[in-house]
Amino acid sequence: MRKSNKIISKIIWYTVMLIVAFIMLYPLIFSLLAGLNTRQEFGHMGALFPVPSVPQFQNLLFMFTLRGVRPLLNTFLRTGWYTFIVCMMAVLIGYVMARYKFKGKKFFLIAILGVQVIPGVLTLIPAFIFMSRLPFVGGNDWTGYGGSGLINNPLSIFLPLGWGFLIWVFLFMQTMKSLPRDFEEAAQIDGCGFWRMIFQVIIPMNKPIIAVIAVNVALSVWNDWLTPFLYITNIQYSTLPAYVGMLVSQLQQFGENDYPRVFAMATVATVPPLVIFLFLQRYIIEGIASAGIKG
Task: Assign 241 a pLDDT band (cuts: 50, 70, 90).
Answer: confident
Query: How much is the pLDDT for 295?
Result: 43
pLDDT digits (tens, 9 = 90+) for 152-179: 888 888 887 667 778 888 889 888 888 8
**Cα–Cα distance between 235 and 269 in angstroms, integer?**
15
pLDDT digits (tens, 9 = 90+) for 244-292: 887 777 665 555 567 888 888 888 888 888 887 777 777 766 666 655 5
**Cα–Cα distance between 13 and 17 in angstroms, integer?**
6
Q: Of 65-69, 86-90, 132-136, which range is least confident?
A: 65-69
How large is the angle between the packed helices 207-222 and 66-99, nearest 10 degrees? 140
pLDDT digits (tens, 9 = 90+) for 8-27: 888 899 999 999 988 988 88
User: Which residue has better confidence, 67 or 229?
Assistant: 229
Per-residue H/E/C for 32-81: HHHHCCCHHHHHCCCCCCCCCCCCCCHHHHHHHCHHHHHHHHHHHHHHHH
Domains and CATH numbers, the chain: 1-56 (no CATH), 66-118+163-290 (1.10.3720.10)
pLDDT digits (tens, 9 = 90+) for 77-96: 999 999 999 999 999 999 99
Query: How much is the pLDDT for 294?
Result: 46
Query: How much is the pLDDT for 88?
Result: 93
Residue 215 per-residue DSSP state: H
Query: How much is the pLDDT for 249?
Result: 72
Query: How much is the pLDDT for 82?
Result: 92
pLDDT, averaged across the chain? 83
CA torsion angle 231 236 242 244 (round to 10): 150
Query: How much is the pLDDT for 164?
Result: 72
